[in-house]
Structures are given as structure tokens and as C-alpha cells.
Structure 1
């Protein structure tokens, strides 16, 4: 089961985050999915994940790539340490394009149920990246 769950998370990272494949997103998300990392007061269902990648990151980063460094399985949860990188060619959360290469470090925990994302917790360095982009 652990290997299958790791593959679900790997598939999400490559097909959804990196490639922007909406069909894969729909296939990999449970309708009752909860994103525990959603900002306070924001939606935390499946669309919260799609919006993060499709309306925040993908328009701002060309050559978006996800590099998975580690995955650890414990029961139905998969912890992944990864880097989301790309070239800052569009506005990112109010910061105009700089043309600089950026790398966002991420640690995610995903609970997989029946081969689909059921819950997500995550920490990332996006705020640090934004602070660096804001400096000349």
C-alpha cells in the first residue's frame, strides 16, 4: 500500500502541479478532500489546491518543475519533501515578473484514501521567496 500511495502523490506532483493536467487532478482528488494548509477564511476543498497551482503559480512561473527529494510513508499518509522551481515571468502574489529563477521548498503530508487525495497539510518557503523577489 505504501508504494501505491507514494505513486499517487508522485503522480499528483508531476501531472497536476508540474504539467497542469486537470483530468489527472479530477481523478486524484476525493470530492470531500480537505486542504488543512489553506489560508484562514479561504476555501479548503479540492478547488483550493487547483487554484493554488493554476491561478497563482503556473501563470507566474515558466518552466515550472517539481523535484521530489524524499517520500516517507506511514500508514495512509505520505510525507514528501520537494522543490517547485521555475522562472519568475509573471506576477506572483502581487510581485511583478523579475525574470529570476526561483525555488520554493515544500514539505507536504497527504492522506491517501482509495488512491485519491483525502487530506493535505503543508509548509513551504513561498513567503521567503516573495521577500527576496521584492528586493532589487
Structure 2
């Protein structure tokens, strides 16, 4: 596969899956046995079902979501996408019940691809800054 395919997979994930809530597209861009490191960390199901859980956790915690893919660096087998979101915190998200506050966060999604499909997914995000925007006193205690 090409670096261009890697970039397209990241674009689909950020703009379509996250930005438009098209969670079913994960089945098109990921291997059924994809390793989602957040799903492991939070004790969610493994494989594609775990990634579905991960995305739904994000989407049910926010409304009026706007997502921007800020930067993409790709090879044929790896891609990193840095993206920013702004939303209203309207449901349980990162362990915090809805506050009704507008939150903005940045994340870096890191994919390893094989045969054009994501086989490994990790994300690094600024949960501490987002928790502070929610009014949580100790962002360092983020889980």
C-alpha cells in the first residue's frame, strides 16, 4: 500500500468516523483483529468491537462536534494524524458527567497499517487540558 492510502485512512477516520459519526466505516478501514491501545487501557472489548466502543465513548460524551485534521505524516505502513475537536460536553466523557461546557482538545492518532487496513491504533490526547475545561480541579489525576 502507499503513503497516500495511509493518509486517506486517517482522513476517513478523523473526518468521517469522528466528525460525522460514521462509526460503521471502521469496518472498512480496520482489520477485524485491530489492537486499540485505549480499549486495552480501559478494559473494553478487543478487536474491531473494542475500537467501536472507543469511538462511541467519545461520540456519546459530546455534541455539536467539530473536528479538524490539522496535520498528517504518512508512510505506506504508518500514519500519524494530529486533530483538534471542539464540542459541548453533553454526556459522560473521560469519566466526567456532562457539564454543558464547550471543550476543545487536541489528539494524535497513530496507525500501523497492513494491506491498507489499520492493525494497531494508539492515541495521545490532552485529557488534562480537556478536564480543566470541564471544571475538574486536578487535571493531573486524569485516567
TM-score by length of 1: 0.85
Cα deviation code 1:84-136 (max 9, x no counterpart)? 32111223244232221111211121012222211112211124312441348
Are positions 1:51 and 2:76 aligned together? no
Structure 2, unmatched stretches of 5+, are: 138-143
Distance in 2, Cα, partners of 1:22 & 1:94: 21
| Alignment check: 8 A CA contact 1:81 1:107 kept | yes
The aligned residue for residue 18 of structure 1 is 19
Query: For the residues of structure 1 that align with 2:76 and 2:27, how far apart are their CA atoms?
Result: 24
**How many corresponding residue pairs?**
135
Give the Cα separation in 1 of the matches to 2:74 and 2:22.
25
Return 39-48 or 100-109, whichever deviates more. Answer: 39-48
Partners in 2 of 1:22 and 1:80 — Cα distance? Answer: 18
Q: Is the 8 A contact 1:36 1:44 kept in 2?
A: no
Structure 2 residue aligned with 1:27: 28
User: Structure 2 matches for 1:67-106, cutoff 5 A?
Assistant: 67-106=68-107
Are 1:65 and 2:66 an aligned pair? yes
Q: Which moved more, 1:42-51 or 1:6-15?
A: 42-51
Contact 2:38–2:123 (Cα < 8 Å) also in 1: yes
SS in 2 for 1:134: coil
